[in-house]
Amino acid sequence: MFTKTGNSFLAPEHYADRIGTALRNELGSTHQASKTLMRWTNANERTVKNWLAGASGPRGEHLVALVRHSDAVLVAFLMMANRQHALTTIELPRLRQKLQSAIDGIDAYLDENIRP
């Protein structure tokens, strides 16, 4: 049997701060942000305000619900888990869309400005 000793890999305050920062960046820190989080997670208002403030982090099923609804929380979670390579999968559809828009813009410019 092993005793529980040593430090955890991520201090609880760092976890709470990173999740809070991700939520504020995506939703802001307004009352509407709290309402949105309450709707997403079925957590009470005090709890979601603590998440937004970075005073405490979501546990268990609340974290799963946040990741389901928030790309920012998913990114923060993957970064904390040192799984940056998994972010590529998330970013590829957005990158493809941006590239397609750039190609469409180039084609439109060339069609208007360069006539054979």
Over residues 33-80, the pLDDT tens digits come to: 999 999 999 999 999 999 999 999 999 999 999 999 999 999 999 999
| Residue 7: pLDDT over 70 | no
Q: In the structure, what pLDDT confidence band is assigned to residue 1 with cuts at 50, 70 and 90? A: very low
CA atoms lying within 13 Å on the CB side of residue 73 = 23
Over residues 77-92, the pLDDT tens digits come to: 999 999 988 888 878 8
pTM for this model (two decimals): 0.71
Over residues 93-113, the pLDDT tens digits come to: 889 999 999 999 999 999 888
